[in-house]
Amino acid sequence: MTEHLIVFPDRDDAERVADDLIDEGYLEVRVVREALAGEDDGEDHEWAVHVVEGGAGDSAGDAPTTGARERFAALAEELDGWYDPDPV
């Protein structure tokens, strides 16, 4: 099981990416509000898509993790966000 965190400044972007990943077969995908280090104001928190790859029954879990990392990093860059390949 591998976890990924894709962080976006915009909630709509995070929800759209999460919906797309669910449509692709990722079963463990959720949008969360991400409080980053040094941010005390709730308005400054960003939106993150948390993806668990390789969970029980996850059809997308068979995809190579390296490919998922590259794709998630590209999505983050495209939408002015950032990607954490090891959010634990």
> pLDDT tens for residues 27-46?
899 999 977 655 555 556 79
Q: How would you classify residue 48: left for phi > 0, otherwise alpha for psi between -120 and 50, otherwise beta?
A: beta
Average pLDDT, the chain: 84
pLDDT given at position 55:
57
- Domain-by-domain residue ranges, the chain? 2-84
How far, in Å, CA of 20 to CA of 13, rounded? 11
User: Would you say domain 2-84 falls under CATH 3.30.70?
Assistant: yes
Q: When comparing pLDDT for 29 and 87, which is higher?
A: 29
Q: Does pLDDT of 58 surpass 60?
A: no
